[in-house]
Structure 1
């Protein structure tokens, strides 16, 4: 069998655009070039699509668009195209693609939107399908489905933007149900974008206003006391395996965007400093949640490990970070799967699906 052509898609109209560039650079440096030919496809912050032919270093530094070379090109939903439709001097030309690796995060990337385009195009792609992507992205819907599957999550409340005008009457019920401190999260962002921790009434109002800048729906959750741990899952549907469990210890108030991507303010422990039985329970629950949500390819499932041995699922990330410091590849590396092999497995899972 000859080499497959992989379109690595990065960027997008998303609050996590910069993270996508770092993740894509890591994937491009590690993808086995003896097995795959690579086409790089970038989406700008304002939604323009280009085929990129420059250096990975310029991509990571967000100089890809200015330094190029770039050629207008899109993934065509017309299945007769079979991949990329590129603008050429003599008119549009087709660039066949065997599989797509969307190295993208956040809205318009991780929420089922772009997966719908791939489905229309009839091209296999890495990661979850439309439904699993959209339901895992919406933290409110995730709570509902996981609770129905018997998987414990934190007590929470979901709010929509018009309710903010009734904050004075709303706050007492939130305080009674959840108690301070509370975590406030936009329902449909990742990488802790727009997330805040509220210790009192004033901080709750400020956190809600900030979260509603990013989404029309917000989730307010009870703060859980426990170790923050993460589990990487690889597979398709019920045929999936979990890597070792890792632990994050943020130096900030919580594991925020800066701690994840921009500084060294977070300590990582692989394996997590929790009892072996708790780790096994988390790995089992992660695979159960992966199957219950209909996930395929990959997901990073985050938990709180309580001191009494209890575990609470925090969230499921269907396109987790792939930067040089991201937990998903680090956890599989600790489980004996090097980064290039992990990428190869993900591509093969996409083709099998």
Structure 2
């Protein structure tokens, strides 16, 4: 097939996307496809308008890649692509909206509240509201951002204002939520719509205090235990809830669903990643490897599924 790979982008996750893109491009070539590589930015829309390919493989992360905007453009151009469509991409990117959907459908989420921080004109009111509703420790992060960019774990009230400003650099809406202490796990999901399968559960043991940007992407930044050493009933529940979350948002082809196992041994869902990282240190390929799929095989499976779903 003739496949265009869009990668790079302009979000805070650009460096990760460059690495993801290189991996995808190499895998597709290894599988015999003709590849057109595009380091994408909104200024390069002309490149997309002129594309003549069988499929577009999205190696983008974050804004203008994972949020449904590029998917909408590709839909208008009638260009098939790998992964979720406009609505599911936008919902997954909007942490507050997706949490509402999960909570209404029986999935446990952390208590949270959103704040409009446009222009930070009402900073003192925001700080006081946060103090009123959230005992420390708690988390402040952008409502729409990935890879823990802009995230602060607030351990004392003196950190609140700076944490709000940090999150506001990435989004006009911030999310404040209870900090859930526990084990970090993630479940990759793959499959045709309605027939999705969970891959082995991964436990993530970060070298830093939590699974931050460096832990995710720097070699040796975290340890991935695959499969996670968990009781069978908890493993089954995580897999079922991951598939349920994927389906609730209407995701397609693949996603990765992140959880914290709290101190009561219950899974608390954090988010669904519709375009999870596919770098050499990424989680999804590690899980696939556990069931005998090489990186190249995994990328080819995404291509095959996309032809079925689109």
- Alpha-carbon distance, 1:145 to partner: 1.3
What residue ranges of structure 2 are gaps of 5+ in the alignment?
Answer: none
Partner of 2:4: 7
Q: Which moved more, 1:274-283 or 1:28-37?
A: 28-37
How many Å separate the matches in 2 of 1:112 and 1:207? 27
Alignment partner of 1:227 is 2:186: no
Partner of 2:18: 21
> Which structure has the larger Rg?
1
How many Å separate the matches in 2 of 1:162 and 1:97? 40
Alignment partner of 1:74 is 2:21: no
Task: List aligned pairs for 1:84-233, cutoff 5 A.
Answer: 84=51, 96-162=52-118, 164-233=120-189
Partner of 2:209: 253
How many Å separate the matches in 1 of 2:123 and 2:291? 47
How many positions carry a matched residue from both structures? 309
Higher strand share: 1
Query: Alpha-carbon deviations, 1:140-169, whole Å to 9, x = none?
Result: 111111112221111111111159544444
Contact 2:31 2:300 in 1 (8 A): no
How many Å separate the matches in 2 of 1:333 and 1:278? 22
Partner of 2:44: 49
How many Å separate the matches in 2 of 1:242 and 1:345? 14
How many Å separate the matches in 2 of 1:149 and 1:168? 35
Partner of 1:58: none
Contact 1:139 1:188 in 2 (8 A): yes
Partner of 1:290: 246
- Alpha-carbon distance, 1:32 to partner: 5.4
Query: Alpha-carbon deviations, 1:23-81, whole Å to 9, x = none?
Result: 1111122225444221111225xx4439xxxxxxxxxxxxxxxxxxxxxx6111xxxxx
In the superposition, the TM-score normalised over structure 1's length comes to 0.83
Please state whether the residue corresponding to 1:271 is helix, strand or coil.
Answer: coil
How many Å separate the matches in 1 of 2:47 and 2:85? 20
How many Å separate the matches in 2 of 1:281 and 1:316? 16
Structure 2 residue corresponding to 1:318, chosen from 257, 270, 274: 274
Q: Which moved more, 1:29-38 or 1:310-319?
A: 29-38
Higher helix share: 2
How many Å separate the matches in 2 of 1:190 and 1:238? 26
Contact 1:236 1:295 in 2 (8 A): no
Please state whether the residue corresponding to 2:201 is helix, strand or coil.
Answer: strand
Q: Which moved more, 1:222-231 or 1:256-265?
A: 256-265
Partner of 1:328: 284
- Alpha-carbon distance, 1:298 to partner: 1.0
Q: Which moved more, 1:165-174 or 1:154-163?
A: 165-174
What residue ranges of structure 1 are gaps of 5+ in the alignment?
Answer: 51-72, 77-82, 85-95
Please state whether the residue corresponding to 1:273 is helix, strand or coil.
Answer: coil
C-alpha distance 162-26 of structure 1, shift in aligned 2 (>3 A): closer
Please state whether the residue corresponding to 2:57 is helix, strand or coil.
Answer: strand
Contact 2:29 2:35 in 1 (8 A): no
- Alpha-carbon distance, 1:171 to partner: 3.8
Over aligned residues, Cα RMSD in angstroms? Answer: 1.8
Please state whether the residue corresponding to 2:293 is helix, strand or coil.
Answer: coil
